[in-house]
A and B are shown apart, each in its own frame.
Chain A
Amino acid sequence: MTYQPIRFYQTGTFTVGNRLLNEEQRSVQANMRRTNSLNSGHRACQGCGEALGARYAIDAAMEATHRQLVAANATGCLEVFSTPYPETSWQIPWIHSLFGNAAAVATGIAAAMRVKGRHDVRVVAQGGDGGTTDIGFGCLSGMFERNDDVLYICYDNEAYMNTGVQRSSATPPAARTNTTMPVGDTAGNAFGQGKNVPRIAMAHEIPYVATATVAELRDLEAKVRRAMEFHGARYIHILVPCPLGWGHGSAETIRMARLAKETGLFPVFEAEHGEVTSVSKIKRRMPVEEYLRPQTRFAHLFKDGGRPDVVARLQSMADRNISRYGLLDEEASS
C-alpha cells in the first residue's frame, strides 16, 4: 500500500474524511475546497461509477499538480454526459479527442507544453474501457512504448455503455451484454477472450501502472499522487461499476466495486517498471457469488437451476488472482 493506514481511529482510513485527522492526512475529497473537476449538472445516470471515479481521480491529479493540468478525453460515456455542446461539467482545461486517439492527442499536448517550456503543466488522457482496450489500443500502446509524459486513466465499466451495453475486450466472461446474450448453453460472454490491459501496460515496462476501484478512495488518490511523481508514460485502470449496464441498484455502485475487489475478481495493485510493488489486500474474503448475484448481467447464472459450472469457473479466476497477486494476508488465508 502506498498510503499510510491510520490505525485505531473510529473508521480508520476507510471513510472519505475523519474529523480526528490532521489536515494533511485527510483525503482530497474531504476538502471543502476540492476542485470538483467534474461539476454538478452532468447527465450521467443515477449512481454512475464513472462520474464518481473521474472526479476522484482528476481532483487528486489537480491537487498533485497544483492545478496545472490538461486533460484529453476519448469519446464515450464520460465525454457524452459531461459535455453536450455548449455546456460542460469540466472545470479544468479539457479537450475531446476522437474515440480512438486520446493517448495520441495527449502525447501531442505534452509535446506542445514541452516546446512552450511549460514544464509545470502535466497531461492526463482518459477514456472508458472501449476507448482504451479496443478502439484506442494502438495509440495507447504507442504512447507507452515511446514513454510519453502522460498519465492515462481508464475508467473500466466493462462494456460500451453509452451506445447501449455492447461487449468490449474488458467485458468479463459470462456477462450478458447486448452482443453476448446467453443463448442455449452459451452463458454470456465467452471465457478465454479479452485483454488484461494493466498487465499489457506492465509489459511495456513503463514507469507506473496501477489498478483501483471507486470503493477505495484513499488508495485511488494515493495512486494518482504517486503517478504524478513520475515522468513518462503511466497508466491507472479504475473499476467503475455501471448501474445501467451491470443491472444493479444505483445505490449499490460502491458496494459492487468493493465486492469485485473482496472476491478477488478485480485485483488492486500497483507496479513500477513492470514489477508489482504492492497489492491492496482483501479485507474480508467472499465467494464470487456475492458479487455476481446482485447484477442482472449475471442473472442467467442463477436462474432455473443456474450454471454452477460457470460460477465455479469465475471463482477459479478469482482464486487465481488471489494467489497470483497475494491478495490475502498470511493471517487471513490460514
Chain B
Amino acid sequence: MKRKPFAITLDPGSSLANHTGSWRTVRPEYVDRLPPCNHACPAGENIQGWLFHAEAGEYEQAWRVLTRDNPMPAVMGRVCYHPCETACNRGALDSCVGVNAIERFLGDEALRRGWKFEPPLSPTGKRVLVIGAGPSGLSAAYHLARLGHSVSIHEAGPLAGGMKRFGIPKYRLPRKVLDAEIQRIDDLGVKLQLHTKVTNVVETMRKGHFDAVFLAVGAHIAKRAYLPAGSAGKMLDAVSVLRSMEGGEKPLLGRRVVVYGGGNTALDVARTAKRLGADESIIVYRRTREKMPAHESELEEALQEGVLVKWLSTIKQAGESSITVEKMQLDEKGMAQPTGEFETLEADSVVLALGQDVDLSLLNGIPGLEIEDGVAKVGPDMMTGHPGIFAGGDMVQGQRTVTVGIGHGKLAARNIDAWLSGKTWEHPARHELATFAKLNTWYYSDAPKSQQPVLDMIRRQSTFEEVVGSFDQETAQFEARRCLSCGNCFECDNCYGVCPDNAVIKLGPGRRYEFNYDYCKGCGLCVSECPCGAIRTVPEEI
C-alpha cells in the first residue's frame, strides 16, 4: 500500500466522478432556425449560407452556394427588389444587411474571374423543352441542365433575357452583365434557339421527342385603357417603348412626356424618357405615394433625376398636344374617387404603363390546361392540368418580379425532375423562423450599412450608364460581416465559454459544438447568451 501523508486516508479524486447532469430538469439543444432573409427570398436562396463564406473572404465558395439556387447573381444583384433586406433582423438593430449589393459583388467577381458552374450530373437521357428565355425559363433550364437533363429553349424573340432585357432599362442592368450570365447557362449545354415562336405546344413536344415542357412566355401584352383621344396625339404603351430601346431606333417621345401608371414600369419609362432628352417627364398616378406599387428606392431615384409625379390624378382625355387630367381623392377605404375637377397638361406623347396580360393564344388547344384570371393555372408542383406541361413566371398567378420568376424556374425544375422519374418532389421540412426575439443582440457591434456609389446626376439625366455602382472587395466583406447569422450557429464560442460547468465540447472549426450531458446542469446560460438563437431549451423527461 502506498504511504499517504499525515492524516490523509483517501486518494485524491477528480470531480469528474460527480455527474452533475443528474440535476438537470431542462436540457439545452442546438437547433438550426430559418433566417428571415432566406424565408423571404422568392428565389429560395440560402442567403445566410453564402454570406457565411463571404464573411471569411471565400468568395468563390459563397458564389457556389448562391448559384445552387440562382444562376444569375450579377443580374439579380442589380434588379431584385430584395425582400430579404426588408425581412432582415438587423433592420431592427441599426439597418438591414445590404444583401443585394453583396450578391452583385459576388456575381461580378464570378464574371471577372471566369468562374464556371460545376459540370452537370451524368445525362439522364430525358429531354425537356423550355418555352421562353426570360428569367423563369433560364432558371428552369439551368437547374434542369445541372440535373443532367437535355434542355432546349425556344425563344420567339431575337435575344434571350425576356423582361430582363426588354423591360429593365440599361441604366439598371448593363447588357454586358446580362449577356455574360446567359452565356454561362448556355455553356452548360442548354440549346437556345432564338426567333423560334412555338404555336402548338403539344405538337412541338411530340415532334421534338420532349418528355416534359416548361412554359415561361411571361406577360408582355400591354393593358389598354379606354381614353378618348381627340385628334390622336401620340399614344404608346410602356412595354413597346422599353422594347424599342433595345432596337436600333429609339422611340420618339417628344419634349413633354406623360406616363400613366404607378408601377415600376412607369418609373422605368419616365426615367428613360428623361435620358432620351425630354424636358418634362411626368407620371400621372391615380392614388398617393403611400399606395404606389412601385418600389420606394426606384421612385426616389426617379425624383432625384427630375421625374415629376402628379399624384391623385387620372387621364380623362388625350388631345393633340395636351391631355386632360381629373383630380382624385381617396375615400375611407383608400380607393381613388373622381372629384370633377379637371386640369390640362401639355404632352407630346402619352405612355400607358398599366400592367401586362399574358398572351393566351399559345395556351389555347392544350388539353387539360386551365386558364384562371387570365393566367395559366398550375398546382403547387407548377404543373398545369396537362401532364408533363409545367408553367411559371409572369404567366402564372403570383407577384410579377424577376426574382419570383427565378424561383418558379427552380421549383418547376425540381418538380419536372421528379416527375420524369415517376416521383413527386417534396419541399424539405422548414425550420422554425429565427425571429428578432430569439437573438441576443448585445453581442453584435455597431456597424452602419455600407452605401453603394451612385453616378453623377448630370450623367444620370443624359446617358444610359449604370446608376448604382458596385462594392469593392473590402466593402463587400465588411457588409457581409454585418450579418447576424440569425438562427444558425456561426461558431462564436459563446456557449463554449459561458458554461460554468465546462459542459460544452468544442468540436473544432466547421464542426460546431456538443453538449456533455453528463455534467450539464441545465442552467440555460448558453441559451440566453447565444447571440444568434441557435440553442433552445427543452424539458427533460424525468
Is there contact, CB below 8 Å, between A16 and B498? yes
- The answer to the question of B482 belonging to the interface, with a C-beta cut-off of 8 Å to chain A, is yes
- The answer to the question of B522 belonging to the interface, with a C-beta cut-off of 8 Å to chain A, is yes
Is there contact, CB below 8 Å, between B500 and A55? yes
Report the bound CA distance from A86 to B7 in whole Å. 12
- The answer to the question of B118 belonging to the interface, with a C-beta cut-off of 8 Å to chain A, is no
Is there contact, CB below 8 Å, between B525 and A254? yes
- The answer to the question of A251 belonging to the interface, with a C-beta cut-off of 8 Å to chain B, is yes
Contacts of B481 in A (CB 8 A): 8-10, 20
Interface residue stretch chosen among A39-47, A95-103, A272-280? A39-47
Complex interface residues of chain A between 1 and 41 (CB less than 8 A to chain B): 7-20, 27, 29-30, 32, 36, 38-41
Report the bound CA distance from A254 to B529 in whole Å. 8
- The answer to the question of B356 belonging to the interface, with a C-beta cut-off of 8 Å to chain A, is no
- The answer to the question of B457 belonging to the interface, with a C-beta cut-off of 8 Å to chain A, is no
- The answer to the question of B297 belonging to the interface, with a C-beta cut-off of 8 Å to chain A, is no
Report the bound CA distance from A86 to B14 in whole Å. 8
- The answer to the question of A229 belonging to the interface, with a C-beta cut-off of 8 Å to chain B, is no
Closest to B492 in A: A15
Is there contact, CB below 8 Å, between A11 and B15? no
Complex interface residues of chain B between 422 and 467 (CB less than 8 A to chain A): 442-445, 447
The count of residues in chain A whose C-beta lies closer than 8 Å to any C-beta of chain B is 50
Given contacts A20-B55, A47-B500, contact A8 B528 (CB under 8 A): no
Is there contact, CB below 8 Å, between A87 and B18? yes
Closest to A251 in B: B524
Closest to A17 in B: B493
- The answer to the question of A48 belonging to the interface, with a C-beta cut-off of 8 Å to chain B, is yes
Of A10, A27, A46, which one neighbours B521 at CB under 8 angstroms? A46
Is there contact, CB below 8 Å, between A86 and B10? yes
Is there contact, CB below 8 Å, between A88 and B20? no
- The answer to the question of A89 belonging to the interface, with a C-beta cut-off of 8 Å to chain B, is yes
Is there contact, CB below 8 Å, between A46 and B522? yes
Given contacts A39-B14, A40-B16, A41-B16, contact A19 B498 (CB under 8 A): no
Is there contact, CB below 8 Å, between B445 and A27? no
Complex interface residues of chain A between 124 and 152 (CB less than 8 A to chain B): none
Is there contact, CB below 8 Å, between B20 and A17? no
Is there contact, CB below 8 Å, between B16 and A254? no
Chain B binding surface, main DSSP class: loop
Is there contact, CB below 8 Å, between A52 and B14? no
Contacts of B500 in A (CB 8 A): 44, 47-49, 51-52, 55, 253
Contacts of A175 in B (CB 8 A): none
- The answer to the question of B342 belonging to the interface, with a C-beta cut-off of 8 Å to chain A, is no
Is there contact, CB below 8 Å, between B524 and A88? no
Contacts of B508 in A (CB 8 A): 32
Report the bound CA distance from A288 to B55 in whole Å. 37
Is there contact, CB below 8 Å, between B502 and A39? yes
Contacts of B478 in A (CB 8 A): 8
Smallest distance from the beta carbon of B1 to chain A beta carbons, Å? 16
Smallest distance from the beta carbon of A33 to chain B beta carbons, Å? 10
Report the bound CA distance from A32 to B500 in whole Å. 16
- The answer to the question of A82 belonging to the interface, with a C-beta cut-off of 8 Å to chain B, is yes
- The answer to the question of B368 belonging to the interface, with a C-beta cut-off of 8 Å to chain A, is no
Of A12, A86, A89, A254, which one neighbours B498 at CB under 8 angstroms? A254
Contact with A along B506-542 (1 / 0, CB 8 A): 1011000000101101111101110100000000000
Interface residue stretch chosen among B222-230, B256-264, B282-290, B483-491? B483-491
Contact with A along B67-87 (1 / 0, CB 8 A): 000000000000000000000
- The answer to the question of B494 belonging to the interface, with a C-beta cut-off of 8 Å to chain A, is yes
Contacts of B502 in A (CB 8 A): 36, 38-40, 55
Contact with B along A249-275 (1 / 0, CB 8 A): 111111100100000000000000000
B residues near A, CB below 8 A?
A: 10-20, 23, 55-56, 442-445, 447, 478, 481-485, 490-494, 496-503, 506, 508-509, 516, 518-519, 521-525, 527-529, 531
Q: Enumerate 29 A-B pairs (CB-CB under 8 Å) in ascending A order.
A: A8-B445, A10-B481, A10-B485, A12-B445, A14-B444, A15-B494, A18-B492, A18-B493, A19-B509, A30-B497, A40-B518, A41-B16, A42-B15, A42-B20, A43-B15, A43-B20, A46-B521, A47-B500, A52-B498, A82-B15, A85-B10, A87-B15, A88-B12, A88-B15, A243-B523, A250-B524, A251-B528, A253-B500, A254-B525
